[in-house]
Structure 1
Amino acid sequence: QGRAEGDKPVTTPQRFARLLLTRPENLRDKDTVLLRELTGTCPEMNDLASLASKFAQLLAPAEGNDAKLTNWITTVRTADLPHLHSFANGLEFDRAAVDAGLTLPYHNGRTEGVNTRTKRIMRQMHGGAGFPLLRHRILLQ
C-alpha cells in the first residue's frame, strides 16, 4: 500500500527499480527477500521483474543475442506493460545499432568518455574565451 508499517521502511519506486536492475548474485539476502515479496504481490510486477532480468542477460555481448532480443520483444508485446511496449518500440527504432551493441564485443566507451569530459569543460567555461582556450584546457588535463 505504500504506507510505513512499524519499523519497516517504505520502499520507493527508485529503490524497487534498483532491486530489479541489480544482478541477483549482487543482491544482499534481505534485498532478495524484499524483491521476492514485492514481485509476489502483483502479477504485473512479477512479469516486469522477469522481463527485466531476461533483458539484462542480453546486455552481455554474445552471438545470437539479436534472435533472443526478437523473442524478448515479442514477449513484451504480449504482456500488459505499456511502458515496456514503448521501450521495445524504441529498441525497434534503431534495431541495427541495438543488434550490434548486443552481439559485438566492441564499444565506443572511451570516445564517449572524451566527449563527456569535453562538454564538462565547456560548461565550466560558460562559453567564454573561444576555441583556443578550450583546446588549451583539454590538452592540460
Structure 2
Amino acid sequence: MDALGEGVGDGADDRRAASTRERWQHIHQLLDAGAGLLEGARCLDLALNTVKRYARHAEPERMVRAPNYLPTLDHLRRRRAEDPAVPVTHLLHEIREQGYTGSANLLVRYITQGRVEADHSALSPRRAARYLLTDPTHLREGQQTLRNQLVDACPQMTELATAVTGFAALLTWREDNARALTDWIARVRTADPPFLHGYATGLERDRAADAGLTLPFHNGRTEGVNHKIKLLKRQTYGRAGYRLLRHRILLN
C-alpha cells in the first residue's frame, strides 16, 4: 500500500490481500492433510521459507498488511509547487508531524519517480520504447493514453512515432513494399531526429534488408532446420558419434 497517498492503489491492495488469503488456505489445507513443509513447497511451487512463513500464522488476516493512508500527498504537492528545490529532509520532518511513519528512502523514491506530481511512477525509457514499438491496438486503455501523451510531448517524438508506424507496416509483405520503402526512406531523411538519417542510409546499403522487406521469400525454414541440427548436436555432445547424429538428423 502506498504510504504517501490516500486512496492510491486500493485495487492493487485488494488483489494482493485476496492472493495472500488464497495462498494461506492452500498451504494450510496441505498441512492439515499431513503433508510436510518441503512437500507443500514442492506441490505449490513455492519457496520453503515462504511456506514456513505462512504456516506460522494461524489466521490469514495476520499476513494481510493493513493499509496505511496518510493525507500527506496534498502537502507534498503544495510544497513542491512553492519550492521545487526544497530538501527532502525538510519534507520528511513536515509530513512526520502529520503522521507519516514511513522511511526516508520511501519518500526519496516517491519523489524521484515523479509520483508526487503524477500519481504514478515516471515512464522509463524501456517502457517508452515498448509503447512506441507496439501496435496501438494491442495496448490497454491506460497504456494507449500514456503513448498518446508521449507522442504529443514534442514534434520530434511525433515524427519518431510516425516513422516507427510506417516502418512497422513494411514488415508485412505487400506488392508495393518496394515503392513504400523508398518513400519511407525519403521521408525519414527529411525528419528532425538525426539518428533516423543513419538508419535510412544503412537500409539503402544493406541489400539483404531491402530484399527482406520487398520480396515475399524468406529463409525462416532454413534457419529452423539449422537450429534443430544444432540442438541435436548439443544433446549428443560427448555421448555419441557422427553416425548417430546423422541418423537423428535424418529421422527428425
How far did 1:130 drift?
A: 7.3
- 2:224 is matched with which residue? 113
Distance across 2 between alignment mates of 1:12 and 1:38: 11
- 1:13 is matched with which residue? 125
Distance across 2 between alignment mates of 1:84 and 1:16: 17
1:65/1:99 contact within 8 Å kept: no
TM-score scaled to structure 1, two decimals? 0.78
TM-score scaled to structure 2, two decimals? 0.47
Distance across 1 between alignment mates of 2:114 and 2:227: 41
- 2:158 is matched with which residue? 46
- Closer/same/farther in 2, CA of residues 120 and 17 from structure 1, 3 Å limit: farther
> What number of residue pairs does the alignment pair up?
139
- Closer/same/farther in 2, CA of residues 138 and 57 from structure 1, 3 Å limit: same
- 2:174 is matched with which residue? 62
Q: Deviations over 1:87-141 (max 9, x none)?
A: 212211123x334322332222121123234445667788998755754665677
Q: Deviations over 1:56-94 (max 9, x none)?
A: 111110111111111111111111222222221221112
- Closer/same/farther in 2, CA of residues 121 and 68 from structure 1, 3 Å limit: same
How far did 1:32 drift?
A: 0.9
Between 1:98-107 and 1:49-58, the stretch displaced more is 98-107
- Closer/same/farther in 2, CA of residues 92 and 121 from structure 1, 3 Å limit: farther
Letter in 1 for 2:196: L
2:203/2:210 contact within 8 Å kept: no
- 2:145 is matched with which residue? 33
- Unaligned residue ranges in structure 1 (runs of 5+): none
Distance across 2 between alignment mates of 1:70 and 1:4: 42
1:76/1:88 contact within 8 Å kept: yes
Moved over 3 A (4+): 116-141
- Unaligned residue ranges in structure 2 (runs of 5+): 1-111
- Closer/same/farther in 2, CA of residues 10 and 100 from structure 1, 3 Å limit: same
Letter in 2 for 1:85: H
- The higher radius of gyration belongs to 2
- 1:22 is matched with which residue? 134
Distance across 1 between alignment mates of 2:204 and 2:171: 16
Residue 211 (structure 2) aligned to one of 93, 97, 100 = 100
